[in-house]
Each structure stands twice: as C-alpha cells, then as structure tokens.
Homo-oligomer: A and B are copies of this chain.
Amino acid sequence: MLARVSSTPTFKRLPRAIREQQMLDAAVRVFSRRGFHAASMDEIADDAGISKPMVYAYLGTKEELFVACLHRETARMMEAIAGAAAPDLPADQRLWRGLRAFFGFVGAHRDGWAVLYRQARGSQPFAGELAAMRARLVEVVAGMLDHALRTEGREVAATELEVVAYALVGASESLGDWLADHPDADPEKTATRMMNAAWLGAGQLLHGATWRPPTD
C-alpha cells in the first residue's frame, strides 16, 4: 500500500503508443550496454519504468522486442541518410551529405548504433536484418558511383563497383563504430575525413587508375 504521492508525471497511465516508444527506448539502452543475451527482460522493463508483463503484452518475446528495436533504429538511420542525399544532387554532394547524415546519426544515437552494428552481427536470427540494410546502402552507393561514371563516359563491371561500394560502407561503419566509442570526437570532422579518403580513392579508381600487384 504505497503512498503514490510521487509528483513524477511518468507515473500516470499512458496510452499504448507512448509506452511502446518508452519500452523501445529502454530496450535499446539495455541491449546496447549488455548485449542481447546478457540483457534481461526484467531490466528492460525496469528501465522503462513499467512491469514485465506489459512488455510482453505490447511487444512480444525478447527476440521480437529486439527485432522491433532493430527495425526502428534502421528506419531512423535510413531515413536520415536518404533525406540528406537527394538523388538530384551531383555525386560528390550526395556522398558528402550521406556521410554527414550517417555520422551525425551515429553521434546522436550512439547506443542505437551499438545495437544495430555490434549486437545484431553475431546471432543468425538478426544478422539477416542487418545484412539487408547494408545491402540497401551498398546498392545506393554503387548506383551513385555508377551514375558518376556513366556521366563521364566510363563503365565498370558491376561486381567491381559493388566491392568498392562495400569497402566504402564498411569503412564508414568502422569509423562510425570508432565515433560511438569516442564521445568527444566531432561527427562532422569524422565525416570530412571519411569523405576525403573515399572521394579521392574512388575518384582515382573511377578515372581508370589502378595499382597492379607485383609478380613476385
């Protein structure tokens, strides 16, 4: 029989939509700092300021909850990037804005990123989700490169393009990961650095320069 005279407004009954978001927020926090398996539903519920059965009622089992987190964070990130890199801009502008949006997102949602990038990787059930997102990104980047090439009259095999795109995306992810661990680092600056390496490297490649392995 607790005296519920607490003044915190977070105590009232809240509609489902809001509670779900709170739960997802809490889940992302807990998953990111504990990892999927080490995270307990009790802790998530506690962190969300609600009891466990509510979590089950609204968002289902632990796996389903994690997938829900993945989806939300993925959607947010893709939206941020897609919104920044408008298709009608010139290639370098698109790349630059995309990178800036990406690093901005990671800087602002460090734990969301940790869930996406670090946790989802290991376990089969979720790796697919992540891979799908990455595939979309790679596709976009490859398309961007391809477009840039065609307007200059050059053409490169699709596989080749894809690998370059993959390397770019991978490098960005790694740098994003680094950013997530360095709270004092500046997302904008990181984006600039990445852009430098990417654009210059890609530019060379696109203009037909190659490095040949020695015949040792």
Contacts and interface: CB of A to CB of B under 8 A. Distances in A.
Interface of A: 35-38, 92-93, 96, 118-119, 121-124, 160, 163-164, 166-171, 173-175, 177-178, 190, 192-205, 209-211, 213-214
Interface hub of A123, A168, A175, A211 (most chain B Cβ within 10 A): A211
Contact of A167 (B166, B175, B192): B175
A196 B170 contact: no
Contacts of A198: 201
5 contacts: A160-B193, A198-B201, A200-B204, A200-B211, A201-B202
A190 B160 CA distance: 10
B211 A35 contact: no
Q: Is the interface of A mostly helix, strand, loop or mixed?
A: helix
B193 A197 contact: no
A117 to B, nearest CB: 8
B167 A177 contact: no
Nearest to A176: B170
B170 A35 contact: no
Contact of A205 (B35, B175, B196): B196
Contacts of A96: 213-214
Given A96-B213, A118-B122, 10 more contacts: A35-B123, A119-B122, A163-B190, A167-B174, A170-B173, A170-B174, A170-B178, A197-B205, A201-B202, A204-B204
Contacts of A192: 213
A73 to B, nearest CB: 15
A137 to B, nearest CB: 12
A-B pairs with lowest CB-CB distance, top 9: A170-B174, A201-B201, A37-B37, A171-B171, A200-B204, A35-B122, A167-B171, A118-B121, A35-B123
